[in-house]
Amino acid sequence: MQTESVLVGFPLRGEWVAYHTPADRIPSHGTDQLGQRFAFDFIRIERDHEGWKFFRTSTRRFNLLGARLDDCYGWGEPIHAPFEGSVVVARDGWPERNPVHTVRDMAIVLRNALFWRPSKSDGVTPLVGNHLILKMSDQEVYALIAHTRTGSIRVRPGTTISVGQHLADVGHSGNSTAPHLHFQLMDGPDPLTASGVPCAFKRYEVLQNGVWNDVHGMIPAKREFIRLTREEPGGSLPG
């Protein structure tokens, strides 16, 4: 079993925070199932708001009516390849729920947790939504990118990918209560049988006392504002 963290590129651009992160607890999602032991959930929220406000509408309106997907800060943002490798699975076409509404979405997540069973036709898609599974070129390490926007996946199984390549967009498909990116590394291509692999990011910036500082080979803390704004020539990440 992999014990050392595998270094990969950060898959998002602009400002994000981690809602779930192995820096906060392990297993990060409360379970080892589906290879989630070291998984991350990245969401875009208002920096000056005390809560997890991921929508442009008022909190009162959101509580009553929810928020349309295009009123959510992170929805539709590009997801970039974290390493060189190839595409193993590319599953698109699963619908998103619009508008986002916490009560309804939480009910669906709970229902799936209690009653979902894998099927030959849908596999894990009802849980992870539209998703990609990528294989690293030089290791038996696989990445799961989940909950992508319907119709946004740009690659097919067998496609060779390069670091920084635009693969899909952040969405709200599957077991999602807000548009976000679920990202994890695994030791195999099938989440039903794979174990999670610890992961750290080669480089990103952290907001500390109002100043953005470079960090290398680190794991984002919960609600720590992070960003990646530039790449080296040729699409490779420094570090």
pLDDT tens digit sequence for 48-81: 998 999 999 999 999 999 999 999 999 999 999 9
pLDDT tens digit sequence for 8-61: 999 999 999 999 999 999 999 999 999 999 999 999 999 999 899 999 999 999
pLDDT tens digit sequence for 119-131: 877 899 999 999 9
pLDDT tens digit sequence for 70-120: 999 999 999 999 999 999 999 999 999 999 998 999 998 888 888 888 887
d(CA 35, CA 232): 31
Q: What pLDDT is attached to residue 239?
A: 35
**Torsion sign (Cα): 59, 39, 18, 122:** negative
Q: What pLDDT is attached to residue 75?
A: 98
Q: What pLDDT is attached to residue 236?
A: 42
Polymer length in residues for the chain: 239
* DSSP string for residues in 130-173: SEEEEEESSSS-EEEEESBPTT-----TT-EE-TT-EEEEBB-B
**Torsion sign (Cα): 231, 238, 24, 148:** positive
Fold of the domain spanning 6-235: Glucose Permease (Domain IIA) (2.70.70)
Q: What pLDDT is attached to residue 19?
A: 97
The stretches of the chain forming alpha helices (DSSP H) are: 59-65, 102-115, 125-128
Q: What are phi and psi of 33, to 5 degrees?
A: -65, 150
pLDDT tens digit sequence for 174-213: 999 999 999 999 999 999 999 999 999 999 999 999 999 9
- Bridge partners (DSSP) of residue 216 are 203
pLDDT tens digit sequence for 138-185: 999 999 999 999 999 999 999 999 999 999 999 999 999 999 999 999
Q: What pLDDT is attached to residue 23?
A: 97
- Contacts (Cβ under 8 Å, ≥6 apart) of 224: 17, 18, 206, 207
pLDDT for residue 2 is more than 70:
no
Band of pLDDT at residue 3, cut at 50, 70 and 90 = low
Q: What pLDDT is attached to residue 168?
A: 98
Could you tell me the residue ranges of all domains in the chain? Answer: 6-235
